[in-house]
Structure 1
Amino acid sequence: MTRTTPPRPYDLLALFPELAAHGRPAVRLHPRRGEPGVKDGSIGGPLLWPADEAWPTCGLEHEDLSDEPYAYVLAWRDYLDDRDRREGEGGLDWGVERRRADELEARFTAEDDGAPPPLIPLAQLYYRDVPHLPWADRYDLLQVLWCPRDHPDIETPYNPALQLRWRRTEQVGPVLADPPVPLVCNGNYVPRQCVLHPETVTEYPLTADLPADLAEAIRAWSEQIGDGTAYHWGTSSAPGMKTTGYGGTWGIIDPYPIRCECGERQLPLFTTATGEFDGGTTSWRPVEEAGTEWEFADPVDIVIGRGYTLQLYYCPASEDHPNRTEMF
């Protein structure tokens, strides 16, 4: 089923025709719960991973305050799904449910054994489904993995640490059937398995990245209509998981250019968001899901910081240059 972004509350190009020169395609991934296979694009699904290629691990330092057994995180989600189903079929005895939850927690114990933990899949993006990914002449598949723990010493501290793999699918050969999983994790960083419903939209930059006169005109218009979120939240930048585009509205720190060590300005590649939309961005809910209230607001079920966005950037000069991240 396709997912379609509703018309924006304001027609930016009618108001500011000069914005057209600054538009950039972004692909809203619209992840929804499902059972993807290795040949499907997915969030949190199995990867088309060569059987003869070592599965990546994380050798960085970890903060363990939020760690819990990985197997428990999966079992707890299964329990919640089953509880929701049973609640829909009739009333629940919450005393019984508390005992079930306590018994489930007591079944799982796991401690960090000190070995570099395996990464887990975050996203599998086939170029046939997700246009505008870089280096389409050389690759047709991008895989994004991360270590689902907090890392105090990375560039964007107390977040997962990411790794990428760019591939040509015809070169993969036999596929790894049973990838390793970590012993412990931060449950906020374990995505639910979702299939993708990609949709290309046009995004526009932050006013900080626009010519001064155009930025001032947009700010004056926002003041005139009495809506300070009309440009950034309402029209120029889509919420949720997406690729390329411009990204999002910076809310923790002031925006700044993300630059590679080579001096090139890096570009957004993959945006990991806490939920598909929230109370301030409900106008972005797909038209096919109108009237569903909050049912599809958070299908992936991951949390970045206190409900923020983590954006991964790439260097257009080379895929071999280090990727960078920022949280906002």
Structure 2
Amino acid sequence: MALTTPPRPYDILAPFPELAAHSRSAVRLHPRLGNPGVDESSLGGPVLWPADEPWPTCDLEHEDCSDEPFDYVRAEREYLRDRDRRQEQGEKLDWEVERQRLHQLRLEHSSDYHPDYDEDAPQPLISVAQLYYRDVPGLPWPDRYDLLQVLWCPRDHPDCDTPWNPVFQLRWRRTEEVAERLNDPPLPVVCSGEYVPNVCVVNPEVVTEYPNAADLPDSLAKRIKEWAEKQNLSSAYNWNVAFAPGWKVMGHGGIWGIIDPYPILCDCGAEQLPLFTAPSGEFDGGTGSWQPIEEAGTGYSYSDPVEVTIGRGYTLQLYYCPESENHTGRTEMF
């Protein structure tokens, strides 16, 4: 279905026409719970993977303080969605019974049921996104690829580019080169539940983004700050105009706040560009103006369909080098 971002509360190009030269297109993915097939773009869904290609693993050090059985995370989510449906349909719930059911569910999916599990062995990654170029315009190198797959290790990594976060891997493909498909990829035994995305269909929409005020020329940034103060809303530019919240590809970088701005550079010296954004939800109280027109009046029903949480509600952004798909991408948390 089509999901449409409402017009921005402010026509930012009227007072600042020079911003047009700094604009970039981003694609909001608008994920919603669903049952996508392997030939569809999705978040957390099945991926088109060659049967003769090894499934990727992670051999980095893992922090296990927040780990829990992967099977349990998915079973618990399914149970809670069913419980919510029953309650919405008017069923009067016995909360002690519900608590006991959840406890039993955890026992049934305990990692003790995997006696051969080797915590020191490389861990299987999980699919985060599968994006067909036909659905998501603007992805890099369309002359060579028609499919981008984003995977990550759903555990905390104390020693990585952005510590205490999942770690990405990418696969760029031509679908015509995939002959026999892998039907049952391996899954991890344990994970951090906050890094396991629900299976979602996507509803891509192209929007225009502008740079963080901290990344603009000083004179322009100063004028925008003065303009925002006149609106009696310090976030008028960053949150209501410049950056679309939620799961998206391309566009601009995040809103500097946790750390000071710095250029994200590749080892080759080129500036890396945003490729994929994994947020903690689609919108919140400060970004409600981005809620799709078609879902107006639904409150927070669709504010977090993917149920991934980055840090304490932050956003993890993956960057790529425009010089080569073989150069290692960077990540940053905003």
Q: TM-score, normalised by structure 1?
A: 0.98
Q: Which residue of 2 aligns with 1:290?
A: 296
- Tell me the amino acid that sits aligned with residue 31 of structure 1: P
1:218-229 map, 5 Å: 218-229=224-235
Tell me the CA shift for residue 44 of structure 1: 0.1
Distance 1:193 1:108 in 2: 20
1:133-282 map, 5 Å: 133-282=139-288
Tell me the CA shift for residue 126 of structure 1: 0.5
Distance 1:81 1:299 in 2: 11
Tell me the CA shift for residue 251 of structure 1: 2.4
Q: Is the 8 A contact 1:277 1:297 kept in 2?
A: yes
Q: Which residue of 1 aligns with 2:110?
A: 109
- Tell me the amino acid that sits aligned with residue 131 of structure 1: P
Q: Which residue of 2 aligns with 1:81?
A: 81
Name the SS of the counterpart of 1:13 in structure 2: coil
Identity of aligned residues (%): 66
What is the count of residue pairs matched by the alignment?
328
Distance 2:141 2:279 in 1: 24
Residue 316 (structure 1) aligned with residue 316 (structure 2): no
Residue 37 (structure 1) aligned with residue 37 (structure 2): yes
Q: Is the 8 A contact 2:212 2:253 kept in 1?
A: no
Distance 2:253 2:288 in 1: 17
Superposed CA deviations along residues 296-321 of structure 1, whole A, max 9, x for unmatched, are: 00000110000000000001111111
Distance 2:301 2:318 in 1: 27
- Tell me the amino acid that sits aligned with residue 88 of structure 1: E
Runs of at least 5 residues in structure 2 that lack an aligned partner in the other structure: none
Runs of at least 5 residues in structure 1 that lack an aligned partner in the other structure: none
Residue 123 (structure 1) aligned with residue 129 (structure 2): yes
Superposed CA deviations along residues 207-239 of structure 1, whole A, max 9, x for unmatched, are: 222122211110111112221000000101100
Q: Which residue of 2 aligns with 1:49?
A: 49
Q: Is the 8 A contact 2:214 2:256 kept in 1?
A: no
Q: Aligned-residue CA RMSD in angstroms?
A: 0.9
Tell me the CA shift for residue 26 of structure 1: 0.4
> Mean Cα displacement is larger for which, 99-108 or 120-129?
99-108
Tell me the CA shift for residue 255 of structure 1: 2.0
Residue 28 (structure 1) aligned with residue 34 (structure 2): no
Q: Which residue of 1 aligns with 2:94?
A: 93
Choose from 273, 290, 301 the match for 2:307. Answer: 301
Superposed CA deviations along residues 143-162 of structure 1, whole A, max 9, x for unmatched, are: 00000000000010010011
Q: Is the 8 A contact 2:26 2:251 kept in 1?
A: yes
Q: Is the 8 A contact 1:247 1:271 kept in 2?
A: no
